[in-house]
Amino acid sequence: MIATEHIINIDKPMDWTSFDVVRKVRNTTKIKKVGHAGTLDPFATGVLIIITGKNTKRQSEFMELPKTYHAEIVFGNKTDTGDRTGTIVESSPVPELSEAIILEALAEFKGEIQQIPPMYSAKKVNGQKLYTLARKGQVVDRKPSLVTIYDIQLTSWSSDQVNIRVNCSRGTYIRVLAEDIAQKLGTLAHVKELQRTAIGDYRIEDALSIPEFIEKWKSSTV
């Protein structure tokens, strides 16, 4: 049964914004207080914690939990968004790679690192969301943020792409990490696929798709 004071683990669909999921849950349940604990980019999929009722007061608690992502990074082209939805703004040859070279580069990102938030992000500068400015063609100075990469593993690779699993802190941008990894390897990159597989103990294996959530809600209110 799904209660009005529930914490719901949703598998966010591709091309939905995180607020699209909040809106769907709110419209389905008629619960007034509905929020989420950690934005996912529209092109990304995976674990999105939806909080309702009094649990919305616990938003920061959930946002502080470590997050795990699986990312497919393609080398050679940089896009304005840092992912496959953007426009290619720069290209670069891809050097000959080996597993040893890739692992050496990945190892440099373990621990605390500095990241400059991307223009296409929900982070605010002077009260304005960066993606709003980016869509107007504006680029503003952004202060680097300190984030922590608890673990980064290579799951597969080819001559022009890598697949990695990253366990990281709040505020980590995988798109920025991909570009920084590419820079270490002497090339450019963007993220082709991104899935958040866990937030703390909330895992993708237990997440509900939108149709599953709707069905479960309907059955719990009969």
Give residue 52's pLDDT band: very low, low, confident or very high (50, 70, 90).
very high
Identify whether 41 is a catalytic site residue: yes
pTM over 0.75: yes
**Between 125 and 210, residue with greater pLDDT:** 210
Domains 7-64+200-220 and 67-198 fall in the same CATH topology: yes
What is the reported pLDDT for 132? 78
According to the CATH classification, is domain 7-64+200-220 in 3.30.2350.10? yes
Q: Which of 44, 65, 153, 162 is nearest to 109 (CA)?
A: 153
Average confidence score pLDDT of the chain: 92
Amino acid found at 128: Q
Share of the chain above pLDDT 90, in %: 79
Q: Are 105 and 144 in contact (CB under 8 A)?
A: no
According to the CATH classification, is domain 67-198 in 3.30.70.270? no
46: helix, strand or coil:
strand
Sign of torsion, CA 6 10 16 18? positive
The two tokens of residue 83 are 């992912």
What is the reported pLDDT for 3? 52
Where do the structural domains in the chain lie, given as residue ranges?
Answer: 7-64+200-220, 67-198
The two tokens of residue 205 are 């294996």
Residues 101-157 have pLDDT tens digits of 999 999 999 999 999 888 777 777 777 777 776 677 777 778 889 999 999 999 999
- pLDDT (average), residues 5-28: 94
Looking at 73-209, list the stretches that DSSP marks H as alpha helix, in order from N- to C-terminal side: 99-107, 130-135, 174-184
Please identify which residue in the block is written with the tokens 């703004």.
89
Residues 11, 41, 83, 180: which is the catalytic one?
41
